[in-house]
């Protein structure tokens, strides 16, 4: 079987392009989010279940038709990845980058805003960041946003210092 992400990206791209022509990109994303939750709560593996779900949730025809096509092609396992890929396309179009900031301690609002501003400047996009604490980190923070990684962790700073000291000693 081909790479599931690549397959889901193809469905997402076709759906996104059609949604964009109708100006309903965000509405479709909301419905894909509902679909992702519904699929996580049940096992969706037959056309009958798809029809029932479509009837219950009253999806936009673009979502309904995509879901039916995925059922016909036995690709219902890709629904969650379809959502994620569609979200990625919408973010790209809207100049948004999503990321995760890991830190040893809870960051205050000022620190969060400063990190967000840095990510905005580096990526040239509007950052939407989630924050999580990782007590095993010694200190500092690490940001993963799109293709970017900003490592301001104490461990990374100590590694750089070690390399610098080793390069200076012969």
> How do residues 53-106 score in pLDDT, each as one tens digit?
888 888 999 999 999 999 999 898 899 999 999 999 999 999 999 999 999 999
In the beta sheet, which residues pair with residue 96? 126
- Span 127-168, pLDDT tens digits: 999 999 998 888 999 999 988 999 988 888 888 888 888 887
- pLDDT score recorded for residue 167: 85
Chain region(s) in the chain for CATH 1.10.520.20: 4-92
Report residue 1's pLDDT band, with 50, 70 and 90 as the boundaries. Answer: low
CA dist 53 to 15, 30, 63, 67, 157, Å?
A: 19, 15, 11, 10, 52
Its pTM stands at: 0.78
Task: Tell which CATH architecture fits domain 4-92.
Answer: Orthogonal Bundle (1.10)
Task: Give residue 169's pLDDT.
Answer: 60
Q: How far is CA 10 from CA 6, 66, 89, 133, in A?
A: 6, 11, 11, 35
- Exposure of 3 by Cβ count < 10 A (0-12 exposed, 13-18 middle, 19+ buried)? exposed
**DSSP letter for each residue of 88-103:** HHHHHHHTEEEEEEEE
To which residue do tokens 């040239």 refer? 124
Mean pLDDT is lowest, of 33-42, 46-55, 79-88, for: 46-55
The pLDDT of residue 30 is 96
pLDDT of residue 100: 96
Q: Is residue 57 within 8 Å of 35, Cβ to Cβ?
A: yes
pLDDT-derived band at 41, boundaries 50, 70, 90 = confident
CA 74, 26, 30, 3 torsion: positive or negative? positive
């Amino acid at each position: 079987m081909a790479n599931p992400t690549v397959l889901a990206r193809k469905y997402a791209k076709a759906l996104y392009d059609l949604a964009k022509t109708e100006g309903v990109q965000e509405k479709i994303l909301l419905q894909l989010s509902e679909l992702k939750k519904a699929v996580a709560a049940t096992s969706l593996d037959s056309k009958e279940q798809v029809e029932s779900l479509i009837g219950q949730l009253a999806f936009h025809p673009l979502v309904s038709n995509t879901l039916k096509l995925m059922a016909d092609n036995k690709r219902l396992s890709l629904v969650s990845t379809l959502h994620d890929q569609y979200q990625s396309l919408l973010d790209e179009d809207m100049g948004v980058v999503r990321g995760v900031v890991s830190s040893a301690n809870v960051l205050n609002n000022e620190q969060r805003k400063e990190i967000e501003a840095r990510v905005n400047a580096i990526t040239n996009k509007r950052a939407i960041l989630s924050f999580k604490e990782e007590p095993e980190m010694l200190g500092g923070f690490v940001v993963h946003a799109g293709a970017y990684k900003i490592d301001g962790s104490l461990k990374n700073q100590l590694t750089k210092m070690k390399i610098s000291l080793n390069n200076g000693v012969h």
